[in-house]
Structure 1
Amino acid sequence: MTAPTTATDVNQPSLQPGAPTGRRMSLPVLMLVIAGALALTSLVRLITGADGITNVSQMSTALQLAVPIGLAGLGGLWAERAGVVNIGLEGMMILGTWFGAWAGFQWGPWTGVLVGIIGGAIGGLLHAIVTITFNVNHIVSGVALNILALGATRYLAPLAFEGHQGGSAKQSPPVDSLGHFTVPGLSDGLETLNDKGWFLVSDIAGLLGGLVTNVSWLTLIAVALVPATWWILWRTAFGLRLRSCGENPVAAESLGVNVYKYKYLAVIISGGLAGLGGVFLSIVANPFYLEGQTSGRGYIGLAAMIFGNWMPGGLAIGAGLFGYTDSLNLRGGSANVHALLLLGALLLVVGAIWLAVRKKYVKAAITFVVGALVFAWYAGTNEVPNQVVSATPYVVTLVVLALSAQRLRMPKADGMQYRKGQGK
């Protein structure tokens, strides 16, 4: 029996992948939520005088920090939509950083990009062999891959980089830049508008200015991969077959889908995307490989994917959120994080009101109390400790996942072991 060629050809409910069990937020509602969050942020900026939370430089830095997280999250999305849990994203990113820098300083940055993707894909292939062919637990395989990648790059770095100018046992020689672009006229206009300090308008200008000012070409490619992933997985026959493997591989096999092939392809692509995220770190964010430079971004990318409910758009929002909080470490961290305490308090109060409207009074009361405590922290201090600033991205990761846990819907067969013909 041949596989279905379009999404409408599959009539079985078990093969309708990705449909959440609850009500999905419509695009107009989502845009209203984003606009409301921007309005609250603008209000906080005016009250606190912390102009740095929405200026062009802050947003540009946030975008740069969000890209590797988003690419790792996209990698996780590809694998898990095919039913393979990919905890090994961190290891695949590590391989991408090393291979990208190794090839980049010798043969140029674009060669480094290609080789870094291949390095991550090799990690994906190893994970696929272990989990798909040998049916090893996906979590165990991913953790082992992370350890293997770290050990392998530590062993290879002295052999490859020592003896070259600027290289050492823990650092590669510098890699040439891929180049940046700025949209003439538009960038300057948005920056001028951002400097006016107007309510909401200047904040939107700062957000948009960060997207068109001093942007790497690799950033443009990474951003384009988000809608490309959505189109491939949700609008093509290939994507339907791949997602069916993550929902009900037995039913997919009964319709003629080669489940092993699609799982292998998904995990290899997953590794390549994570490797591209690593390349971004070692060629764009820093023009060299440095041991430990991933700093857990593979795990944060996995959190962004879960926050986004295994959807590319939600993943992009999650990556942007985590990238923004991470950028606070680099630009006026203490003052900006202190201002965001007020924003957090306001958001919690709004959340409490929403819960009360829905007659969830106990949750509303708890949320309101937490919001009051956060406001008391803001009102009783002038700054926050540097340790809090450094921990902010990870705290936000935990809080966001905790708050979004009830609406999540993972692929039904995600992480399950599968043997060809097991449904017969």
Structure 2
Amino acid sequence: MTTATDLNQPTLQPAAPTGRRMSWPVLLLVIAGALALTSIVRIITGADGITNVSQMSTALQLAVPIGLAGLGGLWAERAGVVNIGLEGMMILGTWFGAWAGFQWGPWTGVLVGVAGGAIGGLLHAFVTVTFNVNHIVSGVAINILALGATRYLAPLAFVGHPGGSAKQSPAVDSLGHFTVPGLSDALRDLNEQGWFLISDIAGLLGGLVTNVSWLTLVAIALVPGTWWILWRTGFGLRLRSCGENPVAAESLGVNVYKYKYIAVIVSGGLAGLGGVFLSIVANPFYLEGQVSGRGYIGLAAMIFGNWMPGGLAVGAGLFGYTDSLNLRGGSGNVHALLLLGALLLIIGAIWLAFRKKYTASAIMLLIGGLVFTWYAATNEVPNQVVSATPYVVTLVVLALSAQRLRMPKADGLPYRKGQGK
């Protein structure tokens, strides 16, 4: 029989994984297949920009704030608290980070921005955990409150300073970037050769070692760090138990309220760090509206990743990549990706037919045929389609992955101390 003492032992093996999980060999095989298919599309269409070093470097920069928001959502929801307020916590991070950054330096801005997001998380925890308010209502309220608060504070803090206005902060000094000498140039040269698959892999790796912010390294390290804390420590086991069965966790001596508070505050801090990235790294200043829905996309990346850090990172990379097409004026690149999308849909239809899901296979095949027709009948796509690509991809990916998802059992459910007695 498991006892409270057992649960508190840090050497306890985490609970058996739930839901359908993809093994690492299969995941690597899928990624390699996707890269090979992308390389074929690049060669057919001549759209070399879809895998060049600059594109991948931009995609990484755009993926980081989405991934940090997703990690924030992961912490909260693993403890049973739905955090729709990630958008507002990112907004708080952008404002507080820029406000402190232009006065006392960028690293101070990072710390203050994280604290700003954590304040939003504390408020969300106070409302949902202590007062048992509906999590969605609380999250939406925080988004509205954060937007209103920063609009009110910006004129008071920024007007009168050089470069400041009611909607923009003064410039913040750079945190610094690094490029791995030798390796970056070698990968760029290899990428420019246009070889099948090899040049595409070189472009992907080149983006990871070219003009990378130090804060990007911190964000990347947080992914395995989160996995280790939540799945390899007693603290993480207790926290996840609050999201699976808080009544059972309480019966084993876990202070459910405490772990929910910790998780949601950490969630806000991570979202705030994503906001800091936007206002110090992506742009060296706060600008009203610069979060632009990334908190919601981060939440979608978390769901796509099945509430796991590795899957979340893949989802953030996918959404960051599609966003980079818009940023770099990728009308031709998006047109080439229509062919990639059509091929993926056709392959998916064949797979569904193999699994004897004939209706779904026929629908997917029809959609794939329509996308291919769109590609064959045009030479480019409208700019409006390019701008909408990240959001369309978000919806499509969530729709296609919905059947394999498994959220924590008590996620979003009301809980009162002692309710199991």
TM-score range, shorter chain: over 0.9
Residues 86-142 of structure 1, C-alpha deviations (whole Å, 9 max, x = no match): 000000000000000000000000000000000000000000000000000000000
CA contact (8 A) 1:17 1:244 kept: no
Match of 2:233 among 233, 236, 253: 236
Match of 1:194 among 191, 196, 210: 191
Supply the AA of the counterpart residue of 1:30: L
Residues 57-93 of structure 1, C-alpha deviations (whole Å, 9 max, x = no match): 0000000000000000000000000000000000000
CA contact (8 A) 1:6 1:240 kept: no
- Asked if 1:353 corresponds to 2:350, the answer is yes
CA contact (8 A) 2:241 2:249 kept: yes
Match of 1:117 among 111, 114, 118: 114
Matches within 5 A, 1:24-423: 24-423=21-420
Is there any run of 5+ residues in structure 2 with no aligned partner, and where?
A: none
- Asked if 1:5 corresponds to 2:8, the answer is yes
Is there any run of 5+ residues in structure 1 with no aligned partner, and where?
A: none
How far did residue 16 of structure 1 move? 3.5
How far did residue 6 of structure 1 move? 4.3
CA contact (8 A) 1:52 1:332 kept: no
Tell me the secondary structure at the aligned position of residue 328 of structure 1. Answer: helix
CA contact (8 A) 1:16 1:244 kept: no
Distance of aligned partners of 1:179 and 1:324 in 2 relative to their CA distance in 1, 3 Å threshold: same
- What CA distance in whole angstroms lies between the structure 2 residues aligned with 1:134 and 1:198? 60
* Runs of 4+ off more than 4 Å: 6-10
Distance of aligned partners of 1:3 and 1:293 in 2 relative to their CA distance in 1, 3 Å threshold: farther
Supply the AA of the counterpart residue of 1:62: A
How far did residue 333 of structure 1 move? 1.3
Tell me the secondary structure at the aligned position of residue 55 of structure 2. Answer: helix
Distance of aligned partners of 1:312 and 1:352 in 2 relative to their CA distance in 1, 3 Å threshold: same
How far did residue 331 of structure 1 move? 1.8
CA contact (8 A) 1:326 1:392 kept: yes
TM-score (norm 2): 0.98
Higher mean C-alpha displacement, 35-44 vs 324-333: 324-333
Tell me the secondary structure at the aligned position of residue 329 of structure 1. Answer: helix
Residues 260-309 of structure 1, C-alpha deviations (whole Å, 9 max, x = no match): 00000000000000000000000000000000000000000000000000
How far did residue 313 of structure 1 move? 0.2
How far did residue 332 of structure 1 move? 3.6
Tell me the secondary structure at the aligned position of residue 409 of structure 2. Answer: coil
Distance of aligned partners of 1:141 and 1:47 in 2 relative to their CA distance in 1, 3 Å threshold: same
Q: Report the number of matched residues.
A: 418
Superposition RMSD in Å: 1.2
Supply the AA of the counterpart residue of 1:323: G
Supply the AA of the counterpart residue of 1:19: T
Tell me the secondary structure at the aligned position of residue 80 of structure 2. Answer: coil
- What CA distance in whole angstroms lies between the structure 1 residues aligned with 2:128 and 2:95? 24
- What CA distance in whole angstroms lies between the structure 2 residues aligned with 1:414 and 1:382? 46
Supply the AA of the counterpart residue of 2:206: G
How far did residue 18 of structure 1 move? 5.0
- What CA distance in whole angstroms lies between the structure 1 residues aligned with 2:369 and 2:10? 49
CA contact (8 A) 1:18 1:411 kept: no
- What CA distance in whole angstroms lies between the structure 1 residues aligned with 2:16 and 2:158? 46
Distance of aligned partners of 1:314 and 1:336 in 2 relative to their CA distance in 1, 3 Å threshold: same
Supply the AA of the counterpart residue of 1:195: E
Tell me the secondary structure at the aligned position of residue 419 of structure 1. Answer: coil
How far did residue 2 of structure 1 move? 3.8
CA contact (8 A) 2:303 2:312 kept: yes
Supply the AA of the counterpart residue of 1:281: L
- What CA distance in whole angstroms lies between the structure 1 residues aligned with 2:190 and 2:118? 43
CA contact (8 A) 1:94 1:278 kept: yes
- What CA distance in whole angstroms lies between the structure 2 residues aligned with 1:8 and 1:157? 48
- What CA distance in whole angstroms lies between the structure 1 residues aligned with 2:159 and 2:328? 33
Tell me the secondary structure at the aligned position of residue 327 of structure 2. Answer: coil
1:19 counterpart residue number:
18
Supply the AA of the counterpart residue of 2:125: A
How far did residue 210 of structure 1 move? 0.1
% identical aligned pairs: 86
TM-score (norm 1): 0.97
CA contact (8 A) 2:12 2:233 kept: no
- What CA distance in whole angstroms lies between the structure 2 residues aligned with 1:105 and 1:343? 44
